[in-house]
Structure 1
Amino acid sequence: MLLQRIANKGIQLGTLFDRAAARHPASPVILDHELDIAPKLGRRVTLTEVADLVDDFASRLWAAKVRPGQRVVVFKTNGFDISLLACSVARIGAVPVLLSPKLDGATVAELLRRVDQPYLLTDQDKLEQELPPEVFGLSERVLLTSGSFQDATELASLAGVRRVDPIVMSPDHPTLITHTSGTTGTPKLAVHTGRTFEARYRPQGTVMALKVRRSEPVAMHISFVHSRMFTIMPISVLQGHPLIVLRDDDPGSVGDVFTHVSPGFIEAHPNTFMHWEVLADDPRRPLANVKFFSSTFDALHPRTVHRMLGATKRKFPLFFQLYGQSEVGPIAGRAYSKKRGTEADGRCVGSPFPGMTGVRVVSRDGNPPTKSSPGYIEVRSDGRIVTYLGEHARWEKQVNDGWWRMGDLGYRTKWGCLHLLDREVDEIPGIDSTLEIEDTLFARLPELVEVIIIPDENGTPLPVVCTRDDKPLDLTAWRSAAAGLPAMAEPVQWKLDDLPQTATTKIKRLELARLLGAGNRGR
């Protein structure tokens, strides 16, 4: 019934927490940080308090002259209040445009130009340390979530304004604008509607409604500006799950939180789960109560899935691996149990969801796509974005008779299972799959925390590796692990934090290749 009601109206972010609080008023939201817009609330709040906070800041935005249909760019210091402010913006019929706190000031300025004179919601630190002065000329008005700055309006000065009623927009009206990863250049601005978001609810919303008890706490470590936040968060609060929201992915602090409140369900980025492998050895057993793990981004390495499932003490735990993209949402999926070993085929990303999504692989040479000759992966979903803001022609280039080109290469087995081999831009001639090589190296070298295979200036596969605690790579062990794999150059070791990353912690492979080509050889 819940999913059907959402289907009739589309997702309404502005009233999300009102509806959740009406059903589960005392259900808690546990944070690992204070909210910049309301630090006095602390780190444990109820859905009722969150609903009031969203209403409060929606009214302040209205007092600042934000009106229905106008765009509000949110670019502030990282925190869960980014997502809550998006709900506040949507509550008065405006359209939130969420930009990652990791973006540099020049990129933010370029995106402000593309949005065309939006309101800019930021903070003192961003204005002083990252944003160029030109953002004032590129914005209708600059609003501050915290601090003070000349010519900017402090939302704190609008505390106590009269509350305004929520404005419900059509399900086909833009409800949120997020940006793509930017792995191949300046990020694109993806326009979502209430109806496209509704379509993204169905796969995981159905699974959670049928499989996950309401008493199970749901923990999330997801970029607060990513579209995924606005599907898993509503599903969780509307179904009444206690919600654990993490800003920090440091295993020590995460272990502290999970020891205090044990999650039954965890949603996180693939690289986050890799970073958390050490929690499997934590004597406090912070993962012991987890029944379900979930990741809806890139395919995870089998070693990481194996480590996560091995750390829980629940009977028959599952790891849900979902394949998707910001532009279309989850498309295919597969569940793994403890029987999956570290040498499992990590390139298999499962099958589409019956009646919800479709997948096809288009040949590049006229022959059926295979592992040695993969094709272009194309998908069909009602969750697809309606345009790239300011770049509709670019959006149209990825649509072929209703099918969306993912930018990935792969093939399907005779059983219909989709195998993802590489991004189109990352393909190296003579290599079936760089991702498969990385899976194998991870399985054979437990000390690795990251390995990226990119072409060097001669087109030779070059491994860039990161080790746990930045210990020097054991070259003897490396050569043993690389035995039987395609010929590669000698590995280059980097510190993990030095690798160029997206908002969802994906490595920017093209940027890394550029840095290496410019003579940056890591440590």
Structure 2
Amino acid sequence: MKRLDIATLFDTLAERHSPTVLHLSRPLDIAPDDAGPRNVLDLAALVEDWSARLAAAGAGPGDRVALVKRNHWDIVLLAMSAVRIGAVPAPVSAQLPPATLATLLARLDAALLVLDGATAQRAAAARIGLPARRRLLLDGTGENLPDAVPAADVRGHPAPAPRRRGADEPLIIVHTSGTTGTPKLVVHSTATIVRRLIGFEARRWPVLSSRPGDTVAAATSFAHGRAFAWTASVFWLRPAAVAAIADHSPQAAEPFLRAHPPTTLEALPATYVRWRHLAAAPAAENVFARVRLYISTFDAVHPPAVRTFLAASERRRPVWLQGWGQSETGPLAFRLLTRKSVAAVGERRPTTRDLGRPVPGRTRLRVADPATLRPLRRGRPGLVLARTKALGLGYVGESERWSAKQLGRWWNTEDVGMRTRGGSVHVLDREVDAVAGMSCVEVEDVVDDRVGEVVECVVLRPREGPPVPVVVTESGSLDPAAWRRATADLPELAEPLVMAADDLPRTGTGKVRRLELRSRLLGGAHPVARPRPAPPTSAGR
């Protein structure tokens, strides 16, 4: 079998007569005239066509190509097209504020910026420039970006031959979610993201892998590295169908899910929350009845969501894969949840805080004292350190920040957690959000489980005083008596603040921007002291 090569993935699959058909929730923005199903030959042709356009627009081997457009799976196709000509794609979420987007583009110093008209318009309205040496505009008139080349003007050129690169050379630049500030740009190579991450996932593992009869659906942020890895591994396993969902609103997603009912589904945790009422529909109407495997990554998932979706499946033993990892490292730990494991309601120690064990043979984890970095015994909370060969090459424009997080052969995840006696890991909070003596994420789980009207809960650390819970409810109000009963055995909390869901600032992956929310509601963040001594000699063992 040929080695998986991102540059020619769909060509190889066509040679192998892959039967996989792609279904799209709406037409691709790079091919808006064709909304129908596509096979791997169609996808190979699209990648070749756009590799020719990128080259004609001025991108070449080794160049960075920034990709900024509204969420859809064609972001991955554009990234593959850049890889094909030897360039280094850098997908960036168009949902970022224009000022943040400009900061990332300045760090990238891209030879070519590929963007859509909506992004150009937002930047122009904010009077913020989008730095790049050349710009390629996918749609629109170009009045907001007069120096941009329209995509139609670079159509029809011959495609360069696929370019190969060394295993340790930069392949793609991905960015973190940015919950704690400006996202970081992470460089990955063929060795780290293809061989270590995609190669591992593209094997036929029991329960977890795509099967020949599967319809594999994804409702994710296609600008993030997870979508790149998901695409390659899923198509390599040749399921019957792949379904890409660009718009996650229930009104848009429900008809598509009904037309193409998934057997495996990967979605953002925030998307699962938005779809809970769809999963609660009667069996005869439920679009999730065929699902055997649910997957969630990027953020914490709360027990009620897991419980609702597992109950929606008509399979005898559906499972939920909860993954924990980072853009820098890929997956670090995972756990399979079942109907039985999430059956208990309102537990003080929610089961979803147990993220399972490190990925076997791929990852090592240790918990260290934040001040001394010395290992802590199991059961004690501390800073979670990871060791993996899938660790990226560095941060673009922030080499000192990368070096500060690399402790010998260990990587500082900047998460607070603990290891259990059985070896599993409980992630309690981001270090910057941590409150002494409690886990904010754990409290959020409990509130979400005990107060039925709560759609989402975010616990913030104030400058002084007890943590402040911010809650979103279905009614827009909160019953004080129900709140007191639900939180009676929890650590002391301030009076809850009720907000509308749309008022919560979010990243492109649906995570709440906690620092921004804290600054908006509480007037800033209390700094976290993070002394970092030189790693002890045992750190590299």
TM over 0.5: yes
- TM-score in terms of structure 2 length: 0.89
**Structure 1 partner of 2:411:** 404
AA in 1 matched with 2:368 = V
Q: Deviations over 1:396-434 (max 9, x none)?
A: 1111111111011111111111111111011113x3211
Answer yes or no: is the 8 Å Cα contact 1:299–1:322 preserved in 2.
no
**Structure 2 partner of 1:261:** 260
**Structure 2 partner of 1:32:** 25
TM-superposed CA distance for 1:291, in Å, is: 0.4
Query: Unaligned stretches of 5+ in structure 1?
Result: 7-11
Is residue 456 of structure 1 aligned with residue 462 of structure 2?
Answer: yes
Larger CA deviation: 475-484 vs 49-58: 475-484
Cα distance in 2 for residues equivalent to 1:511 and 1:247: 26
**Structure 2 partner of 1:441:** 447
AA in 1 matched with 2:512 = I
Q: Which of the residues 215, 218, 230 maps onto 2:216?
A: 218
Q: Aligned ranges for residues 191-230 of structure 1 at < 5 Å?
A: 191-197=187-193, 198-206=195-203, 208=205, 211-230=209-228
Answer yes or no: is the 8 Å Cα contact 1:59–1:164 preserved in 2.
yes
Is residue 291 of structure 1 aligned with residue 289 of structure 2?
Answer: no
**Structure 2 partner of 1:45:** 38
**Residues 1:220 and 1:291: Cα distance change in structure 2 (over 3 Å):** same
Q: Secondary structure at the match of 1:378?
A: strand
AA in 2 matched with 1:390 = G
Cα distance in 2 for residues equivalent to 1:395 and 1:440: 35
Q: Which of the residues 126, 134, 144 maps onto 1:141?
A: 134
AA in 2 matched with 1:204 = E
TM-superposed CA distance for 1:43, in Å, is: 4.5
Is residue 514 of structure 1 aligned with residue 512 of structure 2?
Answer: no
Query: Unaligned stretches of 5+ in structure 2?
Result: 525-541
**Residues 1:355 and 1:486: Cα distance change in structure 2 (over 3 Å):** same
Q: Secondary structure at the match of 1:100?
A: coil
**Structure 2 partner of 1:13:** 6
Larger CA deviation: 437-446 vs 285-294: 437-446
Answer yes or no: is the 8 Å Cα contact 1:328–1:385 preserved in 2.
yes
**Structure 2 partner of 1:312:** 313
Cα distance in 1 for residues equivalent to 2:45 and 2:141: 24
Q: Deviations over 1:276-298 (max 9, x none)?
A: 22122224110100000112322
**Structure 2 partner of 1:472:** 477
Q: Secondary structure at the match of 1:228?
A: helix
TM-superposed CA distance for 1:367, in Å, is: 8.1
Q: Deviations over 1:366-388 (max 9, x none)?
A: 783566x5111011111111100
Is residue 383 of structure 1 aligned with residue 395 of structure 2?
Answer: no
Is residue 246 of structure 1 aligned with residue 245 of structure 2?
Answer: yes
Answer yes or no: is the 8 Å Cα contact 1:428–1:459 preserved in 2.
no
**Residues 1:454 and 1:40: Cα distance change in structure 2 (over 3 Å):** same
- TM-score in terms of structure 1 length: 0.92
AA in 2 matched with 1:482 = T
Q: Secondary structure at the match of 1:346?
A: helix
Cα distance in 2 for residues equivalent to 1:123 and 1:165: 27
Cα distance in 1 for residues equivalent to 2:51 and 2:414: 38
Is residue 279 of structure 1 aligned with residue 283 of structure 2?
Answer: no
AA in 2 matched with 1:162 = P
Answer yes or no: is the 8 Å Cα contact 1:97–1:178 preserved in 2.
yes
AA in 1 matched with 2:175 = H
AA in 1 matched with 2:63 = Q
Answer yes or no: is the 8 Å Cα contact 1:60–1:155 preserved in 2.
yes
Q: Aligned ranges for residues 329-340 of structure 1 at < 5 Å?
A: 329-340=330-341
TM-superposed CA distance for 1:24, in Å, is: 4.1
Answer yes or no: is the 8 Å Cα contact 1:295–1:320 preserved in 2.
yes
**Structure 2 partner of 1:120:** 113
**Structure 1 partner of 2:539:** none
**Structure 1 partner of 2:160:** 164
Q: Secondary structure at the match of 1:40?
A: coil
Cα distance in 2 for residues equivalent to 1:231 and 1:297: 14
Is residue 491 of structure 1 aligned with residue 499 of structure 2?
Answer: no
Cα distance in 2 for residues equivalent to 1:216 and 1:224: 21
Q: Deviations over 1:97-138 (max 9, x none)?
A: 1110111222222222211253111122222232567646x3
**Structure 2 partner of 1:188:** 184
Cα distance in 2 for residues equivalent to 1:118 and 1:475: 56
**Structure 2 partner of 1:9:** none
**Structure 2 partner of 1:67:** 60
Q: Which of the residues 126, 129, 144 maps onto 2:122?
A: 129
Cα distance in 2 for residues equivalent to 1:426 and 1:43: 45
AA in 1 matched with 2:517 = L
Cα distance in 2 for residues equivalent to 1:378 and 1:500: 29
Cα distance in 2 for residues equivalent to 1:83 and 1:511: 29
Answer yes or no: is the 8 Å Cα contact 2:419–2:425 preserved in 1.
yes
Q: Aligned ranges for residues 354-365 of structure 1 at < 5 Å?
A: 354-364=360-370
- State the Cα RMSD in Å: 2.0
**Structure 2 partner of 1:155:** 151
TM-superposed CA distance for 1:358, in Å, is: 0.8
Q: Secondary structure at the match of 2:412?
A: strand
Q: Deviations over 1:168-226 (max 9, x none)?
A: 22221111111112222222110011110121135533455765421111111111111
**Residues 1:358 and 1:207: Cα distance change in structure 2 (over 3 Å):** farther
TM-superposed CA distance for 1:246, in Å, is: 0.7
Cα distance in 1 for residues equivalent to 2:359 and 2:181: 31
Give the count of matched residue pairs. Answer: 508
**Residues 1:311 and 1:421: Cα distance change in structure 2 (over 3 Å):** same
TM-superposed CA distance for 1:333, in Å, is: 1.0
Cα distance in 2 for residues equivalent to 1:28 and 1:357: 34
Cα distance in 2 for residues equivalent to 1:103 and 1:360: 33
Larger CA deviation: 257-266 vs 107-116: 107-116
Answer yes or no: is the 8 Å Cα contact 1:145–1:154 preserved in 2.
yes
Cα distance in 1 for residues equivalent to 2:204 and 2:339: 19
Q: Secondary structure at the match of 2:305?
A: helix
Larger CA deviation: 158-167 vs 100-109: 158-167
Answer yes or no: is the 8 Å Cα contact 1:290–1:314 preserved in 2.
yes
Answer yes or no: is the 8 Å Cα contact 1:298–1:324 preserved in 2.
no
Cα distance in 1 for residues equivalent to 2:198 and 2:205: 10
TM-superposed CA distance for 1:253, in Å, is: 2.7
Cα distance in 1 for residues equivalent to 2:461 and 2:331: 30
Answer yes or no: is the 8 Å Cα contact 2:331–2:359 preserved in 1.
no
Answer yes or no: is the 8 Å Cα contact 1:362–1:378 preserved in 2.
yes
